[in-house]
Amino acid sequence: MKETMAPTPANLRMLLSNATTRLRNAGIEAPQREARLLAAHAAGTDLAGLLRIDVLDDTAHAMFTRVLARRLNHEPMAYITGQAGFWSLDLAVSPATLIPRADSETLIEAVLHHLPDRTRPLRVLDIGTGTGCLVLAVLAEYPHATGIGTDINPQAARLAACNAMRNGLGSRCMTLCCNWADATGGPFDLVLSNPPYIAHAELSGLMPDVVEHEPIRALDGGADGLVAYRALAADLPTLLAPGGIAVLELGIGQDHSVPALMQRSGLEVMEVRPDLGGTGRALVIKK
């Protein structure tokens, strides 16, 4: 009878060293941390749990090999793990949506500053909701608020609905598949949007992680990056309730052009709030 060889456990330290080198050579930032995150995902644990592991069994080793190949192809870590954190939320992500970024949390900070009464029964609209990160973060902070998230991509709308349920907010949040705010009623106390704002000619200069994997439709702002803002400027005067505000995400260098566009539509600029890097990121406007 032919003897069957038992699988040989893979030494984690050697795997991490090799993966770090390959990730560094592929131009991945923070390659050592990335390697450890991939290993933790493959082993079904977190970074703290990884400290207690010396070897990966056959199944985890095979998984690690697969996810490392995906990261070497510059697929974002969030798409590999299928999740991302935003504000106080744990969100599912997919290639149908942009990955929530820390810069966008500046919008939530602006909302909390301009609408300090957390007990208000706000009616919230998030245009182009993606994962639902903005509207869900607001609902988590305002327990009596209700929200609607819209997205033209049905897969994104479904994902936002799943994230609402995942975070215990499903009873207060509705997601709609529609173009901008076409299928919504109004008016709203708060309108949020992180619209496409990258000028078309600049898309090719983005990091491979972004341009090769994230949805271009959610990034492409047209020839000057302002197409979506023009649509928002036209809609906001009727979408906003008396005393309501809109908080919009801005791209780098748009902290003058977009406010001027909104002012030409009769809207008042209240603030351009910078993110932690000093970029004007959250535009706050009202009627």
Neighbours of 169 (CB within 10 A): 22
Of 4 and 146, which is predicted with more confidence? 146
pLDDT at residue 155 greater than cutoff 70 = yes
**Overall average pLDDT of the 137-149 stretch:** 98
What would the two tokens of residue 56 be?
């990966």
Q: How far apart, in whole angstroms, are the C-alpha atoms of residue 221 and residue 167?
A: 30
Q: 128 in the Ramachandran plot: left (φ > 0), alpha (ψ -120 to 50) or beta?
A: left
CB of 88 closer than 8 Å to CB of 137: yes
- pLDDT at res. 186: 79
DSSP summary character for residue 224 = S
Write out pLDDT tens, residues 52-88.
Answer: 999 999 999 999 999 999 999 999 999 999 999 999 9
Domains of the chain: 10-73 (1.10.8), 84-286 (3.40.50.150)
Question: In the structure, what pLDDT confidence band is assigned to residue 9 with cuts at 50, 70 and 90?
Answer: low
Q: How far apart, in whole angstroms, are the C-alpha atoms of residue 64 and residue 56?
A: 9
What would the two tokens of residue 249 be?
């995400």
Write out pLDDT tens, residues 43-53.
Answer: 999 999 999 99
Q: How far apart, in whole angstroms, are the C-alpha atoms of residue 49 and residue 77?
A: 19
- pLDDT at res. 85: 95
Write out pLDDT tens, residues 221-272.
Answer: 999 999 999 999 999 999 999 999 999 999 999 999 999 999 999 999 999 9
Q: How far apart, in whole angstroms, are the C-alpha atoms of residue 62 and residue 272?
A: 48
What would the two tokens of residue 200 be?
């078309």
CB of 173 closer than 8 Å to CB of 233: no
Write out pLDDT tens, residues 160-216.
Answer: 999 999 999 999 999 999 988 887 877 999 999 999 999 999 998 888 899 899 999
Q: Is the pTM of this model over 0.85?
A: yes
Bridge partners (DSSP) of residue 220 are: 198
Neighbours of 18 (CB within 10 A): 12
pLDDT at residue 124 greater than cutoff 80 = yes
- Cα-to-chain-centroid distance, residue 136: 12
- pLDDT at res. 4: 37
Q: How far apart, in whole angstroms, are the C-alpha atoms of residue 15 and residue 156?
A: 36
Q: How far apart, in whole angstroms, are the C-alpha atoms of residue 163 and residue 140?
A: 12
pLDDT at residue 16 greater than cutoff 80 = yes
pLDDT at residue 6 greater than cutoff 90 = no
